[in-house]
Structure 1
Amino acid sequence: MINNNIKPTEGEMEILQVLWQNGRATVREVHEALNKKDSGYTTTLKLMQIMHEKGLVERDTNQKTHIYKALVNQDKTEKHLVNKMINNVFNGSAARLVMQALGNHKASADEIEEIKKYLDSLK
């Protein structure tokens, strides 16, 4: 479970997304997946080293190329961050968060259908 004192930065969240999707990855693989033109390999390396120190990722050093894996659970991390956002930005209103999200981003027909099904299941 994510430690409440550990708050992944935006850059750390991008790296975690790559690790959650791939399971394990080298710094080079993460850097290439991020496809950041304004950021160099050494920036990605330093950020991942910091994440290791913070306990967000583990590093396997048994091979020449270090392999990283997320230590924090994706679902728990997302829930933690959404709860913080609801409380800190939307004054505790999940409805305001959802309306803002749907107002700012065009949801696909499939996503809208999935949302409707979820809302129906809450009734």
Structure 2
Amino acid sequence: MAQNPSETELVLLKALWASGRLSAREVHDATEARTGWSFSATRKTLERMEAKGLVKVEPVHGVKTFVPTKGKLEVMARLIQNFASRVLDCETPLPAAAFTGSRVIEPGEVDELEALLERLSEEDKP
């Protein structure tokens, strides 16, 4: 199972989720304003993300492209559940409705996120 992304890895994942598949250069161009990184730092982070199982490499016409291995909602649900458990010490899932103002979670995705949070909560019970 892939590890949870760090805060900076999440920035790169958001660019990949928005586009589906990008080269390292395209990821860098999409995230440079937010990260302030050099191209080599973006490329190195993508390599670490591949080693962690967060992205996979798929060559397209000889160009190395990166594709997320997990969907946006699956990763978001896991991060939300981890936060609720570790930080808030909650035993019940946070309501997905709390994230309706998010720029990442589309309005039509709230119900799916709610179901994922409920499933993760059930899996975490002893």
Residue 40 of structure 2 is matched in structure 1 by 42
Residue 111 of structure 1 is matched in structure 2 by none
Shift of 1:65: 2.3
Find the partner of 1:84 among 82, 90, 94.
82
Runs of 5+ in structure 2 lacking a partner? 112-126
**2:15 is aligned with 1:18:** yes
Shift of 1:62: 4.9
In 2, the alpha carbon distance for the partners of 1:86 and 1:9 equals: 17
TM-score, normalising length: structure 1: 0.68
In 2, the alpha carbon distance for the partners of 1:38 and 1:30 equals: 13
Residue 63 of structure 2 is matched in structure 1 by 65
Residue 29 of structure 1 is matched in structure 2 by 26
In 1, the alpha carbon distance for the partners of 2:36 and 2:18 equals: 23
Find the partner of 1:56 among 54, 57, 75.
54
RMSD of aligned Cα (Å): 2.6
In 2, the alpha carbon distance for the partners of 1:45 and 1:18 equals: 14
Shift of 1:61: 2.9
Same amino acid, percent of matched pairs: 23
1:30-67 deviations in Å (ceiling 9; x for gaps): 11111236310000000001111111111123533211
Larger Rg: 1
Residue 74 of structure 1 is matched in structure 2 by 72
Query: Conserved in 1, the CA contact under 8 Å of 2:4 and 2:75?
Result: no
Residue 6 of structure 1 is matched in structure 2 by 3
How many equivalent residue pairs?
Answer: 99
TM-score, normalising length: structure 2: 0.67
